[in-house]
Amino acid sequence: MISWLANPERFSRIFTPIRPYVGVAAALMFMWGLYLCFASPEDYQQGDTVRIMYMHVPAAWMAMAVYLIMGIASFFGLIWRHSLADVAAKAAAPIGAAFTALSLLTGSLWGRPMWGTWWEWDGRMTSVLVLFLFYIGYMALHAAIEDETRAAKSTAILAMIGLVNLPVIKFSVDWWNTLHQGASVVRADGPSIAPDMLWPLLVMALAFKLLFVWLWLLRIDTELMARRYRALRARLSFAEEGN
């Protein structure tokens, strides 16, 4: 299945028509989610600021999920040498970096009223910052190496090494006693969060996921077209050379 899809032409043929629907779905989910956010009750402790959560938590989830996707795509790229895998990983990176930046930003906006500081060097914040740095490193490396196939391999190696950071982020709250609160949605004994806060959160999370898929497909397609253009151009210039 994966290798069947890994053919770039087939991939474009299948997903280009689907893409607009994903975009529309993402927009609708965002509208619904945002409505729910503001309709949901204030927290008895945090007041209005709790609404930051509906941005912060989905963004943080996506920050990690996108990196995971990049890692997996890189793995496939290295083992089976599908160029589409590299395109997918490369296309995901800036989106993931944006989500990470968003979670850092909302986190620190939230930290100000909650903990009285914009920034605190606790385990989770730091490890998310490191995740952001991995994204930047990944993009910088991809940009720095001119040769396409080599860039693919080198960045794939980097992305896979960087995967070790994900468990660190996830469990940092358990390993270090820090300011950031522990898991309350994704935990073994079910969510411990009030349902009228859980709902908007889940809707927003889904909206973020759809947004990601839409952007991702868009970027993959752009990158594929850019590569096709380069290949064509190279062939053309070579054909001209004889004259």
The residues of the shown chain that bind another protein, judged by CB under 8 A, are 117-122, 126, 129-130, 132-134, 136-137, 139-150, 153-155, 157-158, 161-162, 165, 230-231, 233-235, 237-242
Distance (Å, whole) CA 113 – CA 110:
6
Q: Given the complex with ligand HEM, which of 129 and 141 has the nearer CB atom?
A: 129
Residues 51-70 that bind ligand HEM (CB under 6 A): 53, 56-57, 60-61
Q: Which does 237 bind (CB under 5 to 8 A by kind): another protein, ligand HEM, none?
A: another protein
Tell me how crowded residue 168 is: count the other CB atoms within 10 A of its CB: 16
Q: Which does 109 bind (CB under 5 to 8 A by kind): another protein, ligand HEM, none?
A: none
132 binds ligand HEM (CB under 6 A): no
CB 78 within 8 A of CB 157: yes
Residues 184-243 that bind ligand HEM (CB under 6 A): 184-186
Distance (Å, whole) CA 16 – CA 104:
32
Q: Which does 143 bind (CB under 5 to 8 A by kind): another protein, ligand HEM, none?
A: another protein
Reduced to 3 states (helix: H, G, I; strand: E, B; else coil), residue 170 is helix
| Residue recorded with tokens 């930051």 | 52
From 23-31, 34-42, 177-185, 225-233, span contacting ligand HEM (CB under 6 A): 177-185
Could you tell me which residues come within 8 angstroms of residue 229 by beta carbon, excluding any fewer than 6 positions away? none
Q: Which does 144 bind (CB under 5 to 8 A by kind): another protein, ligand HEM, none?
A: another protein
| Residue recorded with tokens 């993009």 | 139
Phi, psi of 178 (to 5 degrees): -130, -175
CB 55 within 8 A of CB 99: no
| Residue recorded with tokens 């999370």 | 205
Q: Which does 145 bind (CB under 5 to 8 A by kind): another protein, ligand HEM, none?
A: another protein
| Residue recorded with tokens 């402790």 | 45
Residues that bind ligand HEM (CB under 6 A): 53, 56-57, 60-61, 103-104, 107-108, 110-111, 114, 124-125, 128, 169-170, 180-181, 183-186
